[in-house]
A and B are shown apart, each in its own frame.
Chain A
Amino acid sequence: MKWIGAALLGGSLLLPPFLAGDFYINLASQILIAAIFALSLNLLVGFGGMTSLGHASYLGVAAYISALLTSRYGFGHGTAALIAISGTIAMAAFFGVIALRASGLGFLMITLALSQVLWGLAYRMSNVTNGDNGITGLTRPAPFGISLDNPVAFYWFSLIMATVAFLMMMIFVSSAFGSSLKGARDQPRRMAALGFNPWLIRWITFIYAGFWGGVSGLLYVYYHKYIHPSSLSITSSAEALLGVIAGGSGALGGPAVGAALVLLLKNYASAYIERWNMLLGLVFLFIVLVMPAGIVPGFSRLIAGRRGAQR
């Protein structure tokens, strides 16, 4: 039953290019990008028990490196992407060493402080980042000579990347290492007594999550062809965290659904009201107070309950 549902959901992702207009195909591409970002954050929040409020750092830094290298220094997209991803991994390794000195709320505060510092840097270092104007006039890459400027081509590209990301993260959490990660989340002292190194497990996970955050950042900058400091802001981190929590951090696919809902809400709402941040705040209050376990686990419990009643 669960597999049929997953297959249906997966199959439906193949449909947009055949059914929908450009607007909806672009929206679907954005959802895929947000889903990769939220899934990578969930490696920390759901599977590692490390609630980060600074995950936008990885998205933003990868996007900025790629944007700067391609637009200002004449690098090709392939090389720029490699450098951007390596830079993001190095930054995640460094931030991980700092943030993992603490746990719980201390971890949250340090990740938030670090990402706010990067956000401030992107605003103030205007001779490098162009400050509040952002970097415009970027291009999309053309892998194997296929231009991605067409929405349908970009959708297929995002879908392939999202599928790879989903599978890679699924393998990661269902591997032996993933089990030791959950062990380090629930019983760090017992894990240490068994000879595992909880700190190292968390650090590797932190870097892996930073890596996928960087990949989503590359897709983000390819899609928008524009980058602004707001992609590093606390709002950007908070949207992803809301996606994770709304979707349910326990299930692997939950954050993807949550991210889709947040993005749809943002797009739909911004057509009618200007105040996205206010709505985001209210949704935060609503989800935490009313649906603390998330929407996906909430619904699956509902369905499971109905099936139980039929029997």
Chain B
Amino acid sequence: MQFWIIQGLNSLSLGGLLFLLSSGFSLIFGLMRLANLTHGAFFMLGTYLAATALRSIDGLNIWVTALGAGATVGAIGGLFERLVLTRLKSNPLGQVLVTLGMSFIISDACLTIWGGDSIPVPTPQNLQAPTRLFGFVFPTYRLVLVGLAIVAAILLYFLLERTRLGAKIRAGVDDRQMARAVGIPVSNLFTIVFCLGAGIAGAAGVLGGPILSAYPGLDADMLPLALIVVILGGIGSLLGAFVGSFIIGFIYTFGTALFPELAYIILFLPMIIVIAFRPQGLFGRVGA
């Protein structure tokens, strides 16, 4: 019983991380029609920044680190969008290739700076003691992580559904040309959304650090998970990213625990089933 409960919690915390990663990806895709293949690298960059910051600065809090790394990665993303992606507006294939090139550059730079060994990210001290609930023992940090993902989901929901900026973004997602025609500066929205998406990915990398630790290839491990979540949940849908993340979180965690060698094949299955019956994904409105 303890096994199932713990693995269930692990699934939820991985699902939470995946939501933070894939919500930004999905938002960027929905608005810009751009598959941002740098997303895994942004996540990894966040993890490495956290590893260095938390080890070298005493008493630094992981939440502050997450905000700082999120801001840094978001700024890098914004610069990249302004300097490179805007030049390729009429060339969607070129944009994807450029994000791929950028992901190679970032991951290789990380390898140069931080070396090939994996670097653990310390769990916050006040969250190291396990929590006892209903006679079961839970790692506290993972519980907090699940809570954070839910808070982030609610905040993003309010940002998109209840604010003026969110209304503009939704207008841009639904009909970019009409949004331009009524005077919404869609190009500025692109930059904002790209910064936001990259920043959330960077912050997610920090928060995932204590669970995953920083290692070369983390980006290549996370990117396909984000892709599968988004394909499953529906591209451009926040709800889809949320539901898809937890489905993949469960399948991946239990798959790895029960059939370690087949976990990757099991990941296929939900994707294939969904694509066969609903090519636009569970909650997708936008056709890919």
Contact = CB atoms under 8 A, between A and B. Distances in A.
B125 interface: no
B101 A282 contact: yes
B33 A288 contact: no
B127 interface: no
Contacts of A283: 101
Given A113-B228, A124-B260, A288 B97 contact: yes
B57 interface: no
Contacts of B112: 275, 278
B104 A235 contact: yes
Interface stretch (B141-149, B154-162, B216-224): B216-224
B98 A117 contact: no
B288 A104 contact: yes
Interface residues of B, number: 49
Contact of B279 (A51, A102, A284): A102
B103 interface: yes
Contacts of B108: 275, 277-278, 281
Contacts of A245: 97
Given A106-B231, A282-B101, A285-B84, A292 B264 contact: no
Contacts of B260: 124
A102, A113, A120, A234 pick with most chain B CB within 10 angstroms: A113
B94 interface: yes
Interface in A82-126: 98, 101-110, 112-114, 116-121, 124-125
A289 B275 contact: no
Interface string B194-238: 000000000000000000000000001101100110110001000
A113 B271 contact: yes
Q: Is the interface of B mostly helix, strand, loop or mixed?
A: helix
A26 interface: no
Contacts of B189: none
Contact of B224 (A101, A105, A117, A292): A117
Contact of B288 (A51, A103, A116, A288): A103
Contacts of A121: 264-265
A152 B230 CA distance: 49
Given A53-B100, A109-B231, A285-B98, A117 B105 contact: no
B259 to A, nearest CB: 11
B224 A116 contact: yes
B221 A282 contact: no
B109 interface: yes
A284 B231 contact: no
Interface stretch (B47-55, B65-73, B85-93): B85-93
Nearest to A117: B264
B12 to A, nearest CB: 22
Interface in B106-142: 107-109, 111-112
Given A238-B104, A285-B105, 10 more contacts: A106-B279, A110-B231, A112-B227, A113-B231, A116-B224, A120-B221, A124-B263, A278-B109, A282-B101, A289-B84
Interface of B: 29, 33-35, 37, 84, 87-88, 91-94, 96-98, 100-105, 107-109, 111-112, 220-221, 223-224, 227-228, 230-231, 235, 260-261, 263-265, 267-268, 271-272, 275-276, 279, 287-288
Q: Which 5 A-B pairs have the closest CB atoms?
A: A106-B288, A284-B101, A281-B104, A116-B224, A281-B105
9 contacts: A101-B279, A121-B264, A124-B263, A234-B100, A277-B108, A278-B109, A280-B101, A288-B91, A289-B94
